[in-house]
Amino acid sequence: MTATVMDGKLVAAEVKQEVSGRVKHLQQQGVWPWLSTVLVGDDPASETYLRAKHKACEEVGIKSENHHLPSDSPQDKLEALIDRLNHDDRVHGILVQLPLPKHLEEDRTIDRLDPDKDVDGLHPVNVGKLASGTEGLVPCTPKGVVRLLQHYKVQIAGSKATIVNRSNLVGRPLAMLLLNRDATVTICHSKTKELANITREADILVTAIGRPEVRIGPSYVKHGSTVVDVAINRVDGKLRGDIDFEPVSKIVQYITPVPGGVGPMTVAMLLENTIQAAAIHAGIRL
């Protein structure tokens, strides 16, 4: 068996095409989708991610701007900027690039966002909607994972799905998304005992450990399963994920590459969330 590689670049390109059409539909009704990003400090990785997001916005016709605050900005200055963007009717989506400098409070910052403009899907209102089965604005990476699975017609309903991550960005929201689609979901984490015994039972295995020393090999994986690698590690100047790709790809049915798997989907889902927020603001059904 040789796995089908789930091509995130290909699926993201299709999503962008859909988004571009919806942007035109909104523009015809006088709505010009607008994303505002906030960057505090000069973290090179954050700057790289934001450039990719703004480039993608330009490609599909979404207006975007970045607000760059110095790394020593106090909490009240950051919150004042968020308040201004919350009340700016031109702005449909707000994304605060994480992580923030250590002296700033992430939870307090996210709570300050207007839930209808929270295109990262991290505000407690959006988290609560997702947990209750009513999906509003959903975190981009988990949403991208589900879209990839759907594109490749991976059976979710009735499957055993195991997620090796419990973060608010990936593991928890992805568990809710899969549960809402009738999967039986297990979450593993750093305190999980005998991890391989659990992951070997999974029809769908999603890993997002993100530590270079961790390698998920064939002994962790069920034959014929689907493996989604969300992690990004830089090792010897190259990007790789949690999964030992070559040997695992010989025993599973579907697998994502790193890079080129989930990463492009995360950006594509941000675009989708932004036009969803614009439509909510305008009272338009897409």
Write the DSSP assignment of 103-153 as a string of letters.
Answer: TS-HHHHHHHS-GGGBTT--SHHHHHHHHTT--SS--HHHHHHHHHHHHTT
The set of long-range contacts for 239-246, using a CB threshold of 8 Å and a minimum separation of 24, is 241/207, 242/164, 242/207, 242/208, 242/209, 242/210, 242/214, 242/215, 242/216, 243/207, 243/215, 243/216, 244/215, 244/216, 244/217, 244/218
- Whether 97 sits among the annotated catalytic residues: the reply is yes
The pLDDT, as a whole number, for residue 1 is 74
The pLDDT, as a whole number, for residue 39 is 98
The pLDDT, as a whole number, for residue 143 is 98
Task: Name 254's Cβ contacts closer than 8 Å, sequence gap at least 6.
Answer: 3, 4, 5, 6, 152, 154, 226, 227
CA dihedral defined by 192, 139, 231, 221, rounded to 10 degrees? 50
The pLDDT, as a whole number, for residue 182 is 98
Per 3-state DSSP, the chain is made up of helix, strand and coil in percentages (nearest 5) of 45, 15, 40
Task: Name 229's Cβ contacts closer than 8 Å, sequence gap at least 6.
Answer: 207, 241, 242, 243, 245, 255, 256, 257, 258, 261, 262
Q: Among residues of the chain, what percentage have pLDDT more than 70?
A: 100
pLDDT digit string (tens) for 175-189? 999 999 999 999 999
Do 30-116 and 140-262 share a fold?
yes
Annotated active-site residue in 97, 118, 129, 229: 97
Note the pTM of the prediction, 2 decimals: 0.96
- Whether 53 sits among the annotated catalytic residues: the reply is yes
The pLDDT, as a whole number, for residue 236 is 82
The pLDDT, as a whole number, for residue 197 is 97
For 108, counting Cβ atoms within 10 Å of its Cβ (0-12 exposed, 13-18 middle, 19+ buried), the class is exposed
Structure tokens at 25: 């539909």
Tell me the C-alpha distance between 73 and 57, whole Å. 27
- Whether 120 sits among the annotated catalytic residues: the reply is yes
| Topology given in CATH for the domain delimited by 140-262 | Rossmann fold (3.40.50)
Tell me the C-alpha distance between 1 and 85, whole Å. 52
Annotated active-site residue in 16, 53, 117, 129: 53
Place of tokens 């909104």: 26
The pLDDT, as a whole number, for residue 88 is 98
Annotated active-site residue in 114, 116, 118, 120: 120
Architecture of domain 30-116: 3-Layer(aba) Sandwich (3.40)
- Over the chain (286 residues), the average pLDDT of each successive run of 10 is 94 98 96 98 93 97 98 98 98 97 97 98 97 95 98 98 97 98 97 97 97 92 98 86 96 97 97 97 87
Domain boundaries, the chain: 30-116, 140-262
**CA neighbor of 124 nearest in space, from 141, 133, 137:** 137
